[in-house]
Amino acid sequence: MRQARSLSSRLVVYWVAFSLLAFFTVPVTVLVPLSALGIEDLGYVRLEGLTSKRARVILISALRKGPEGAYVEMTDALRAHIARNPSFRYAAFDATSGVVLPGSDAALAEYFRAEMTLIETYGSTFHIVGDPNRKARGSARMVKTPIGRFGTIVYGADFHWDDLVFALYYYLTIPNLLAYALLCAALSLVALFVVRKSLQPLRASAATVSEIDLDSLDRRVPVEGLPSEVVPFINAVNAAFQRVDDGVARQRRFIANSAHELRTPIAILRTRVDKLDETEIKRELKRDAQRIQTILEQLLVLAQVEERGASPTVPEIDLGETALAVAADYTPLALAHGRRIAFEGPARPVIVKGYQWAIESVVTNLIENAARAEPEGGTVIVRVLANATVEVVDHGEGVEPAHREMIFEPFWRKSETRPGTGLGLAIARELMTKLHGRVWVEETPGGGATFRLAFPTADSDEVLTRPAQTADA
């Protein structure tokens, strides 16, 4: 997949590219229309400035130095320029002595000679009063040449389109390019700073979006302070979150309603199974009905926890009493299948944050799984530790290390021949996540699986992050 380019870098590149384009096309795109429309004098002066620059270059190239001093030679370029511009006049004089160079228009030189010997003129656009051509413009400038410093004056040349090409050619010098490169670098840094500053609200919005999950679909991205160009996109994102929130809410209501509706048929089924004669089939049916009821209860509990997830107050319960009640309720069913349930409680009450019916649901699921895995005649141990951890220990086949995360995925089963839907542990992990707790599995010393549940205590939001040690009981 092609890596996305930075918006900041693209904007800076576009800025520099269009700046260069604008710089080199201003005479055509701006000054020519101004001159053609006669708007003020700015356009015409700037266009004539291009012509004057070309005329000055031609004049400087015609300067010569002979035995009697400097003079202006009628070169081919100068002759051609005069032919194209019949009103063209030119003059040059020595910057030190003020002597007009032979070949110059003496009358034109007299306008500036006295002033330019006293004042360094680096550029002056002018019009001679009384000239019948009101559009005529000229330029006077002191220049340094290989044969000395001279005052140069050009006047009366008309603008031609190839003057633009000439100006561009003579503009592309090393000093000019270096100066413009430095200017572009400075402008790029300014543009980069402005763009990054402008995109800060968008980055804040991205951070808000990254924090939204299925438990916080009611959150929305604020549009205050965002650029107006981005607001429609953020509004669309908020609308999409609203649609997802509505869809998830409908799905949760459907699951909760379905689980609730199935409770009555399951209760009827268990009643009818109880009326059967005591046989192995009856015991299997009772265990299967219990498993179905546990899953339904888990779905109902999950729906209730999700509904109350935003509640600021979570009740505090005694973890030992809750686990003991579940172990006691399941003991008759375990004994009927040739297994025992042993409970090991803490020395003093362990108070945790959570909903009792949610914790009972998770512990029930783990005890059922352990009872199925425990060999006949064995004992399932339910242990509550002082660090707010519940252990459910069996001595069956255990869980392979490669499967210890996969078993919590929905519908995962090690073998299709094994009974079950693969939903119980997935719902258990989801419930523990809603309760801000953790569930994981380890190997029982000597063989088997030990499932551990870690809960936040009443005086702390932290839960156990390392496997609990059995010796802590």
In three-state form (DSSP H/G/I as H, E/B as E, the rest C), the secondary structure along the chain is: CCCCCCHHHHHHHHHHHHHHHHHHHHHHHHHHHHHHHCCCCHHHHHHHHHHHHHHHHHHHHCEEEECCEEEECCCHHHHHHHHHCCCCEEEEEECCCCCECCCCCHHHHHHHHHHHHHCCCCCEEECCCCCCCCCCCEEEEEEEECCEEEEEEEECCCCCCHHHHHHHHHHCCHHHHHHHHHHHHHHHHHHHHHHHHHHHHHHHHHHHHHCCCCCCCCCCCCCCCCCCCCHHHHHHHHHHHHHHHHHHHHHHHHHHHHHHHHHHHHHHHHHHHHCCCCCHHHHHHHHHHHHHHHHHHHHHHHHHHHHCCCCCCCCEEEHHHHHHHHHHHHHHHHHHCCCEEEEECCCCCCEEECCHHHHHHHHHHHHHHHHHHCCCCCEEEEEEECCCEEEEECCCCCCCHHHCCHHHCCCCCCCCCCCCCCCHHHHHHHHHHHCCCEEEEEECCCCCEEEEEECCECCCCCCCCCCCCHHHC
Query: Is 314-472 the same fold as 211-312?
Result: no
Mean pLDDT of 25-36: 61
77 contact partners, CB below 8 Å, separation of at least 6: 58, 61, 62
For 40-172, give the CATH class.
Answer: alpha beta
Q: How far is CA 378 from the centre of its chain?
A: 56
CATH superfamily of 314-472: Histidine kinase-like ATPase, C-terminal domain (3.30.565.10)
Mean pLDDT of the chain: 80
pLDDT in tens, 61-97: 999 999 889 999 999 999 999 999 999 999 998 888 8
Least confident residue range of 27-41, 362-376, 398-412 = 27-41
Residue 458 has pLDDT above 70, yes or no: yes
Q: Which tokens go with 122?
A: 């680096």
Proportion of the chain above pLDDT 90, given as a percent? 25
Name the pLDDT band for 1 (thresholds 50, 70, 90).
Answer: very low
Looking at the DSSP assignment, which residues form a beta bridge with residue 89? 155
What is the CATH number assigned to the segment(s) 211-312?
1.10.287
Question: Structural domain boundaries of the chain?
Answer: 40-172, 211-312, 314-472
Ramachandran angles phi, psi of 252, nearest 5°: -65, -40
Task: Report the pLDDT value the prediction gives residue 466, as an integer from 0 to 100.
Answer: 45
Residue 437 has pLDDT above 80, yes or no: yes
Mean pLDDT of 90-116: 85
pLDDT in tens, 265-312: 777 777 888 778 878 887 788 777 777 777 777 777 777 666 665 455
pLDDT in tens, 160-211: 878 777 776 666 667 777 877 787 788 778 877 887 787 788 888 888 888 8
